Amino acid sequence: MILAVTGGKGGVGKSTVAFNLAAELRGVVVDADLGMADLPASRGPDLHDVLAGRAAPLEAVRESGPVAILPCGRSLAGARAADPARLCDAVEAVERAYGTVVVDCPAGLRADAGLPLVVASACVVVTTPSEAAIADAMRARELAREFDAGLVRVAVNRAGANPPTARVADLFGAPAVPIPDSERLGRAQSSGQPVRSLAPASARVVEQFETLARAVQSCRA
């Protein structure tokens, strides 16, 4: 299964949701934001190299960390050398080898933002409760619809005390899962760890990622 994690607005926590979902699903997370990569990186070939034809997709997957990841480079030269048209083939190669792939999509509605949705069978849309973020996420949801990437859930990140989950669910036509504000979540992401590694399994934020993962698994079944 290939799951795209998308959202219209940058800074809503899309990468955090993708990383933690990959951990829950025991899959590989692919950092497909070719110009503004945000997931953990390390030495070795990365997605820029894969898309430039300098490395094979499986060669670039890192299995040594808590979450298997195909990272993306950070250099402008790497981004310029990458051919986005190779992305679908690269993600499909990872899926064949690992079974489950979670793709962290670029923010916004640029042409490269739609590429992971072309190859994905399903998607999770990420937003925050702000009206601007919801409006941008709705546009991302429409883009996913155009490419037949079925919407599994809407993740309402930094949900606050009274998240608008009912309204969001009504707008998007899919259940909304609130991801609570969590200092441990931010600390885990900064250290390249899923939040489960720093929080007990009963913590609310861990429970919500479990809820998202179960919804994805039921979609796959």
pLDDT in the model for residue 160: 84
Q: Could you give the domains of the chain?
A: 2-219 (3.40.50.300)
Place of tokens 């913590």: 203
166 burial level (CB within 10 Å; 0-12, 13-18, 19+): exposed
Per-residue pLDDT tens, the chain, 221 aa: give them: 999 999 987 889 999 999 999 999 999 999 998 888 788 888 899 999 999 999 999 999 999 999 999 999 988 888 899 999 999 999 999 999 999 999 999 887 666 677 899 999 999 999 999 999 999 999 999 999 999 999 999 999 999 888 999 999 999 999 999 999 888 898 999 889 999 988 887 789 999 999 999 999 988 75
Is the pTM higher than 0.85? The answer reads yes
Which tokens sit at 162?
Answer: 């009274």
Tell which residue, 207, 189, 188, has the closest CA to residue 198.
188
pLDDT in the model for residue 110: 65
DSSP state of 62: B
Q: How far is CA 135 from CA 13, 17, 130, 146, 150, in A?
A: 16, 19, 9, 17, 19
User: What CA dihedral angle connects 110, 82, 101 and 173, to 10 degrees?
Assistant: 10
DSSP state of 196: G
